[in-house]
């Protein structure tokens, strides 16, 4: 029995060590940010979302698609209809077939969705060391605590590689990424963009703005949903009080 206990302890130690070694330093804690959209009364910061869109368009859109977001929804965050129309027209869209059965190209319209940067997944992998850049429409929802995860990932490049850990050629070390290895090069740096509103484009600011844009892209109806939820709760509270008063009056004769 004593031998069995020692054997079990040894196996447990080996297993634990193996798991810890496999995880390495990838289980770094996420940075926690007080986002304006958090909580029941959270709201969207429209200027930040506009800046985040600029970061997406000038940096991220070269590799990442945004296939679930139509141009016209940008009016929700402060862009005018003229600005949206001009932005959409700056993209070339493939449409058709025409009367001859052929596909053709045309300027984008506000009703169009953002075009993909690559014609297909194989082309995307070939251009990114075999990795498929994920679509960013729902990226914020793809992981628990998605906003803090993406912010932490974007701002955690540059750490020293742990001793004994090997990074494959073309990859990078990032302690937030499971396994610590990521094929995406650091996408952001100080002054990656020049903000149109004059905001200082530090790495931290760019990451915060991009996260707020991605949060909006994943759930543009968030404000309507929260508003409806608050109204429903107020209605239920009022009805609870009403039925309580009715119950007291109906059963008052029994007391």
Please state, as a whole number, how many other Cβ atoms lie within 10 Å of the Cβ of residue 116: 16
CB 203 within 8 A of CB 189: yes
pLDDT of residue 94: 92
pTM: 0.82
Inside any domain, residue 173? yes
Inside any domain, residue 15? no
Per-residue pLDDT at 57 exceeds 80? yes
207 and 234 together in one domain: no
177 and 237 together in one domain: no
Inside any domain, residue 157? yes
53 and 143 together in one domain: yes
Mean pLDDT is lowest, of 1-10, 94-103, 170-179, for 1-10
Which tokens belong to 79? Answer: 């862009």
**Quick one: what percent of the chain has pLDDT higher than 70?**
86
Inside any domain, residue 97? no
CATH classification of the domain holding 39:
1.10.760.10
117 and 216 together in one domain: yes
Query: Which residue in the block uniquely carries the two structure tokens 């109806």?
Result: 221
Instruction: Compare 50 and 255 and report the one with higher pLDDT.
Output: 50
Structural element, H or E, at residue 223: helix 222-250
CA distance 108 to 96: 13
Please give the residue range of the domain that contains residue 143: 21-69+113-220
Instruction: Compare 195 and 10 and report the one with higher pLDDT.
Output: 195
* Segment 116-140 mean pLDDT: 94
CA distance 146 to 30: 10
pLDDT of residue 242: 77
Number of domains in the chain: 2
253 and 189 together in one domain: no
pLDDT of residue 180: 95
pLDDT tens, position by position, 136-180: 999 999 999 999 999 999 999 999 999 999 999 989 999 999 999
pLDDT of residue 223: 67
pLDDT, the chain, mean? 87
Inside any domain, residue 28? yes
246 and 129 together in one domain: no
**Extended beta strands in the chain, E state:** 92-95, 104-107, 172-173, 181-182
240 and 140 together in one domain: no
Q: What band does 233 get if pLDDT is binned at 50, 70 and 90?
A: confident
pLDDT tens, position by position, 196-218: 999 999 999 999 999 999 999 99
Which tokens belong to 230? Answer: 């608050």
pLDDT tens, position by position, 25-49: 446 899 999 999 999 899 999 999 9
192 and 132 together in one domain: yes
pLDDT of residue 46: 97
Chain mean position to CA 175: 18
**Nearest alpha carbon to residue 21 among 167, 170, 163, 182:** 163
186 and 117 together in one domain: yes
């Amino acid at each position: 029995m004593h031998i069995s206990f020692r054997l079990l302890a040894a196996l447990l130690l080996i297993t634990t060590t193996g798991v810890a070694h496999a995880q390495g330093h990838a289980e770094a804690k996420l940075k926690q940010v007080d986002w304006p959209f958090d909580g029941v009364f959270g709201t969207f910061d429209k200027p930040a979302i506009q800046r985040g869109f600029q970061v997406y368009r000038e940096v991220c859109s070269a590799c990442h698609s945004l296939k679930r977001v139509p141009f016209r929804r940008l009016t929700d965050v402060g862009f005018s209809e003229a600005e949206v129309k001009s932005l959409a027209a700056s993209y070339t869209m493939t449409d058709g077939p025409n009367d001859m059965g052929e596909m053709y190209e045309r300027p984008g319209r506000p009703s169009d969705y953002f075009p993909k940067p690559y014609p297909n997944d194989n082309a995307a992998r070939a251009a990114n060391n075999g990795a498929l850049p994920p679509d960013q429409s729902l990226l914020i929802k793809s992981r628990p605590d998605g906003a803090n995860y993406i912010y932490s990932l974007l701002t955690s490049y540059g750490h020293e590689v742990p001793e004994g850990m090997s990074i494959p050629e073309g990859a990078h070390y990032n302690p937030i990424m499971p396994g610590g290895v990521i094929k995406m090069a650091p996408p952001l740096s100080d002054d990656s963009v020049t903000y149109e509103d004059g905001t200082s484009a530090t790495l931290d600011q760019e990451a915060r703005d991009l996260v707020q844009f991605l949060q909006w892209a994943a759930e543009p109806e968030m404000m309507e949903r929260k508003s409806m939820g608050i109204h429903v709760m107020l209605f239920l509270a009022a009805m609870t009080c009403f039925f309580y008063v009715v119950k007291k009056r109906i059963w008052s004769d029994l007391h």
